[in-house]
Structure 1
Amino acid sequence: MIELAALDMAGTTVNESGAVYRALRTAVERTGVPVSDEDLQTWMGTDKREAIAALVRLGGGTPTPELVEDGYEAFAAFLREAYRARPPQAIEGVEDALAELRRRGIKVALTTGFSADVAHPLLESLGWSTGEGGNLDAVVTSDEVPRGRPAPHMIHRAMEKTGVIDTRRVLAAGDTIVDVEAGTNAGAGVVVGVLTGELPRAAFAGHPHARVLASAAELPTLPETFPQALAADLPTA
């Protein structure tokens, strides 16, 4: 049985109306380089400073530390304004799904390519929190690990925070390719791509370890999320 669900935030559990895409593009293009849709999609879900540096380089620029930091500050400012104008909301059905997973004894952690200064105010606006009375067991931001996705560090950090020691008992889910790559790299027993972001089902086809669900709201339907006694009674495909 799964003991930990490590889930991405924007596009997976939280609907923020594509603001991250727009903010990342704006932050990079203000340096004077173009950003292709393909490159932007490739770097979605990663640590945002890493993404800015990579996209500047791909656009023909030179990502100096000063330029990257200035770009990140612009990214964060754009995102705060976008969220102020149109507050993010939980993806339909996800809050109930998280509650159901926890009711079954599965810990829930959110992992994100945002740093703490962006992630925590976003979660506070939703009323999501860890600790007593909260609906989450852990939150891992990109600035507390050596590398962001597709490296496995955020998922492993979520395991540390929740006391889970067997990677095979981890479910990792996200709406981008680097989300599922991070799950595979972490050794997660179940890796799920969800279709509530910008990617179609076909985009996950080249990743044989990833199952595809319409939404993270469907996670409680997976057999691995049922207690062992109940899972034994479920029909098999």
Structure 2
Amino acid sequence: MSYSRLNQYIQLGIFRLEDVCVRVQDGMEGFLRTAALEKASDIEAVFRWLRKRNIRIALISDADYTDTNVLLERLNWGVGEEELIQLVVTSQEKKLNPVRDILEAANLTDGQLAFSVLDTPRLLQCAHFSRVHFNLGVTNGRCSYAELADTPHHALLDGSVQLPNFLLENLPMVNTSIRTMVNTDARLPLLFFPRTLTDFMW
């Protein structure tokens, strides 16, 4: 599928793999083949919901390429255009802005065509500087609400499971089950942020 001609739609969701999508047993980061893994609640259902709406899934991983592949294999998450996940950036802490790297890998020059679901102040800052359409924090990941509250964001969610409701409330055209057809030659109307966040300073 050519995504360049669908620039009137949100095209990409960016998630942090560790903690947002899956928790690794404490102290076992160097033993990923045997460490206990705990998937975030309903994360695969969220991914499938997005994929049905032609939104690609990108993961930002703390681990290097080899260890990231071990995690993905254990989760049974394939990577490719027809798989659950489309893009992965590894060793994110060594990169200046892994969100920008994901956008470039997805051939998106405009961050407004993406949203992010992240859980550290650094990554929320990266998404902020990349000008993603929705820069969302989750408070059940590595950092708490108090740690994320002063970092640029559009909303803080309790977890990724709240993402579909947030998008349907704030980006209703993402719901392709709506019967009204959209003229694909025209850009969608300007998308509104939550009313309670209209005074948020970028």
TM norm structure 1? 0.63
Q: Measure how far apart 1:2 and its partner are.
A: 2.3
Report the AA paired with residue 99 of structure 1.
Answer: R
Note the 1:162-201 alignment, pairs <5 A.
162-201=106-145
- Contact in 2 for aligned 1:104/1:226 (Cα 8 Å): no
TM norm structure 2? 0.73
- Contact in 2 for aligned 1:6/1:109 (Cα 8 Å): yes
Asked whether 1:141 is paired with 2:90, we answer: yes
In 1, Cα distance between equivalents of 2:45 and 2:87: 17
- Contact in 2 for aligned 1:101/1:225 (Cα 8 Å): no
In 1, Cα distance between equivalents of 2:171 and 2:52: 11
**Does 1 or 2 have the higher relative contact order (CA < 8 Å, sep 6+)?**
1
Q: Measure how far apart 1:106 and its partner are.
A: 1.0
Q: Secondary structure at the match of 2:83?
A: coil
Structure 1 runs of 4+ off > 6 angstroms?
A: none
Change (3 A) 1:195 1:228: closer
Change (3 A) 1:222 1:114: same
Q: CA RMSD in A?
A: 2.7
Larger-gyration structure (1/2): 1
From 10, 21, 24, the counterpart of 1:2: 10
Q: Secondary structure at the match of 1:188?
A: coil
Q: Secondary structure at the match of 2:51?
A: helix
Change (3 A) 1:118 1:86: closer
Ranges in structure 1 where 5+ consecutive residues have no aligned partner: 23-77
- Contact in 1 for aligned 2:117/2:160 (Cα 8 Å): yes
Report the AA paired with residue 3 of structure 1.
Answer: Q
In 1, Cα distance between equivalents of 2:128 and 2:159: 19
Ranges in structure 2 where 5+ consecutive residues have no aligned partner: 1-8, 179-187, 196-202
Report the AA paired with residue 7 of structure 1.
Answer: F
**Count of residue correspondences:** 171
Asked whether 1:127 is paired with 2:76, we answer: yes
In 2, Cα distance between equivalents of 1:91 and 1:225: 24
Partner residue, 1:12: 20
